Structure 1
């Protein structure tokens, strides 16, 4: 998992909050409806921050993480695949 220690989680949360104040960013988390959230590399999301919504792809914004359909245009943190493919 990307957050394997509380120190790393704190650093990551601070980073994400700092860069999400002005825009919304897809962050590489996706899911099939009703299934577990997974990172783009297949790692299961640990749930360190609640994801709000019923969409299939997660994005970061100034108050947390939400989810939406892939057809919405947003910036990406790091890189992105051609499409957000929900994992099975």
Structure 2
């Protein structure tokens, strides 16, 4: 499995590629700043997006924002190097 990640502000973007299944997994985490919220969740970050797909034109991606689609394309280029 190949992995590429990128951090921007409070967000961390991960793209995993499973070479056996030829499938991508895209996950976005948001860092929690509030101490109260951290204590409630018992975590310092929360998963915002978690989706699996086979290619950039996959129907599973239709609900994602343009920013997420651009980030996926950028991360894919990093994996394919």
Same fold (TM over 0.5): no
Return the structure number with greater strand share: 2
Greater RCO between the two (CA within 8 Å, min separation 6)? 1
Normalising by the residue count of structure 1, what TM-score does the alignment of the two structures yield? 0.29
Please tell me whether Structure 1 or Structure 2 has the larger radius of gyration of its CA atoms. 2
Normalising by the residue count of structure 2, what TM-score does the alignment of the two structures yield? 0.30
